[in-house]
Amino acid sequence: MSEWTWEWTGYDPAAERLRESLCTLGNGYFATRGAVPECRAGLVHCPGTYAAGCYNRLESAVAGRQVVNEDLVNLPNWLLLRFRLRRTEGAWGPWFSPDRHALLDHRHTLDLRRATLTRAFRHRGDEACVLGVEQTRLVHMGDPHLAALRTVFTADDWSGEVEIESCLDGEVINGNVHRYRALNRRHVTQLRTGTEEPHTVWLSCRTSTSDIAVAMAARTTVVADLAPVSSELRPGRHHAVHRLVVPIAPRQPVTVEKTVTLHTSRDTAISDPLGEAVDRLSTAEDFPGLLDSHVAAWERLWQRADIQVPGEAGRILRFHLFHVLQTLSPHTADLDVGVPARGLHGEAYRGHVFWDELFVLPYLNLHFPEVSLGLLNYRYRRLPRACRAAAAIGRAGAMYPWQSGSDGREETQEWHLNPHSGHWLPDHSRLQHHVGSAIAYNVWQYCEATGDTEYLHTKGAEMLVQIARFWTDLAVFDPGLGRYRIRGVVGPDEYHDSYPGAALPGLDDNAYTNVTAAWVLTRTLDLLRRLPAWRREELFERVRMDGNELTKWDEISRRLRVPFHQGVISQFEGYGDLAELDWDAYRTRYGSIRRLDRILEAEGDTVNRYKASKQADVLMLDYLFSPTELRQLFLRLGYDLDDEAWRRTVDYYLQRTSHGSTLSGLVHGLVLARARRAEAWQYVQEALEADIADIQGGTTGEGIHLGAMAGTLDLVQRGLTGLETREDALWLDPVPLPALSEYGFSLRYRGHWGVGVRRRGGQLEIGVPDSEEKPIRVVLADRAVTIAPGETCTLVLAES
């Protein structure tokens, strides 16, 4: 392996699903898991293909109830290509399968720079004929509707024939997540297949309820010294097959190129997905030509986004960046899609959009702001639905869903399965209304990074106002406390969704929820004061707003309650009254207790009784806000949060968190790095290894954790540098992390492309490329400098 390549050697059926996720190739429009081409879906393999935003809704019977779930659809399998051998005048052997045939060696190589997956192995047939096979695939980054697979067969000391079956397989279900097997999983219907001589087969279908038309076309050709003996195109009920028989001689390679196009009715500037797929295929280049243009497209991406960190941490960070770019590429900017929590790599969380853009957009804002803008517009288009959701429960403003899919309705399941107990349990995570604050935060950060005041003053302002209205209406004044309270919510922790023995779900005064709500109100008030008068009038008219509302916003932003106990911030009101958990006893009994909620429920207990958090909740505040901004927020609310109180709070929750989310190590790593704590690296390492080591015990095979991957990039870019984009300047407050003491990356800041930032030793070097743009102002704790285009400034950092 090198800094740009990752290898998997041997063949282990138990590890295939994990490898398939990690070897997924995509381009932002669609992605295909890294399954071996000859195998259909089953218990071992899941050759899933997923198009961004392609959802379908099905009804299922679960535990005697009818439930409806919307899923990202597993589309027909374009990858399928199998082969079998026979010696001259011999009988055909069986179709090759790695699960039935011995492999002399087997290796997968993922090349990040070229974005290709190459598989090489040697196979001994039933008649002792050894065949070398090398397969290289790509999902084209230049043309998002193209993919290709090249297979090269090389015989050792024997002659004969190889039969190849290249197939488009429409007999697919959503089968990647075993927990969902009790649900209705067949999403594609109305299958049709056909052929076009001499090399093309096609398949079309529709999703059963969302009625999205999907079309694929495949061209399979042979490059060899000897022409195929036969070539037959076979349309079928569920499959479109091209079967070829090709002569093979010792050490004379036979190359099979399979090129595929994919279109759906969600595409723009087309009239017919099938016609477009067939037409685009007819003009597609051969594999070498496609590879060249694909690699060139990736080279342009790496120029804008590469990160340089020495050692294994650097390799992993580049691996994470690769998967982020495969899910959220420049093609994403033209699509109506959000950030799928598990990428386009699997079916966990049903492909839904949660709050993960909170961890993704800070990175994208400074590299691919057009992608950030597209993702924010996904939220803006669903603002009317969020307003209707709030009105349905008697609230003003916009109540965004915790889980979103095609149209912005609440997609959170009402029941979820605990695999430890086999019980179906009510799911109250839809009460995580803090997702609205995350959307507001993302709008603000995007506009600060890009200077896009037009967006901030129009669509951004409209979202901020409606989210602020929701918080204002949800907050209730408590005369006894003299403060406003937000009741009946669930915080980022997710473990706690009600008080012990309570009849109704929800918690009161979740600190993270209340503080971020206060931030939304404060920022929106600031924005409205700064808006030109005509803009403000236009906005008020559009949202039917009376300026008198602002007085109450200001009052609530200063008087929302933040509970404390024992000198630390309480995660929610009453947290300090919960029982302490015997952490050592549970670790001894179960080993991994990341999903402590499931363990306790299987014992007939509930995590609601204990001071135990799944992931960072209160500490998320330090992830979002600089220490200065967080202190100012608390002062505005009437609380003095000094360094000692925050240190006690960090220590308190470190001892009471099970890290049941991949985001937990990430947040704790950044929080501890800011606090100059030695144990920060332990949590950063956990965040780096979350997916490659599958630390959640099998979940990565159901899709990567996109927020955690992007968050590790942000940890270097924003966490270690203390980078903030505000007041038309780059603010830096570098923190020491000895294991990551050297790093470099480039930024796109305002009109400047390729602003270089590099830390080495005790110095921070900032280079601004030559252009006609204005100089950049850089502010550190003890000084400010202005760097003109074409200049490089080296700053000596103070000892920490």
Please give the positions annotated as active site.
494
User: Is-contact 143 267, C-beta < 8 A?
Assistant: no
Angle at Cα 570 formed by Cα 564 and Cα 575, nearest 5°? 115
Cα(738)–Cα(313) distance, rounded to whole angstroms?
12
Residue 325, SS3 per DSSP? helix
CB 595 within 8 A of CB 632: no
Q: Which two tokens stand for residue 523?
A: 């920022």
Residue type at position 553: W
Chain centroid to CA 721:
24
* Strand locations in 664-762 (E): 724-726, 729-731, 743-749, 752-760
Q: Is the distance from CB of 686 to CB of 665 less than 8 angstroms?
A: yes
Q: Which two tokens stand for residue 315?
A: 């390799």
Kindly list the distances between the CA atom of residue 760 and the CA atoms of 29, 165, 308, 736, 795, in Å, as whole numbers in the listed order: 38, 54, 11, 11, 11
3-state helix, strand, coil in the chain (%, to 5): 35, 25, 40
Rounded CA gap, 375 and 393, in Å? 27
Transcribe 556-567 into DSSP letters.
HHHHB---EETT
Strand blocks (E) in 97-238: 103-111, 116-124, 130-139, 146-155, 160-169, 188-196, 200-207, 213-223, 230-235
CA dist 416 to 120, 149, 347, 792, Å?
A: 41, 38, 15, 55
Query: b/e for 577-614, b at 16 or more Cβ within 10 A?
Result: ebeebebeebeeeeeebbbbbbbbbeeeebbbebbbbb
**SS3 label, residue 9:** strand
The token pair that represents 405 in the structure block:
């899919």
Distance CA 194, CA 4 (A): 40
DSSP state of 412: -
**768 by DSSP, 3-state: which?**
coil
Angle (deg, nearest 10), helices 287-305 and 311-327: 110
Determine the straight-line distance between the first and last CA of the chain, rounded to whole angstroms: 36
